[in-house]
Structure 1
Amino acid sequence: MFTIEHDFDATVITLIDEGHEGLVDDVTINAFEDCVTLEQLDPLTGEPVRVTLSMAQLRDLAAALDLPEGSYRIDRKPA
């Protein structure tokens, strides 16, 4: 299950783990103009852990989901 909310400066997506044993805490994804952050509570400390991806890293991640094992470089056309 997931939710989508549009805030002033970001789109917030929350991924909710459900329906099986070994559930993990929700993941919150904040999509800003220049980066995307992923946050999840650390079960040991109860503190949020944040990972920040640049837009280039996010594009590479999206491309990587459909590629076989290997090393790749995506050439970008100048804007």
Structure 2
Amino acid sequence: MFTIEHEFDATVITLVDEVASHRQEDITINAFEDCVTIEQADPDSGEVSTVTLSNAQLRDLGAALDLPEGIYQIAAAKDR
């Protein structure tokens, strides 16, 4: 299950791990104009860990999901 909310400066997606035998904590993805953050709370400490991806890293991740094992470099578009 997941939710999508549109905030003033970001789109917020929350992924709920409802089918795992050992349920993981929810993941929150915040999509801003210049980056994407991924957050997950540690159930033991209560602290939130955050990973920030640039738009280029997010593009590469999307491409990597559909590629076989290997090393790749995506050519930069001329209009960026």
**TM-score bucket of the superposed structures, by smaller chain:** over 0.9
Decide which moves more: 57-66 or 11-20.
Answer: 11-20
Cα RMSD for the two superposed structures: 0.8
Q: How many residues align?
A: 79
Q: SS state of the match for residue 68, structure 1?
A: coil
Aligned sequence identity (%): 67
**1:6-62: CA deviation from partner (whole Å, max 9, x where unpaired):** 000000000001033200000000000000000001233210000000000000000
**Given the two structures, how large is their TM-score scaled by the length of structure 1?**
0.95
Name the SS for the 1:50 alignment partner. strand
Counterpart position of 1:44: 44
Unaligned runs of 5+ in 1: none
Letter in 2 for 1:74: I
The runs of 4+ residues in structure 1 deviating greater than 6 Å are none
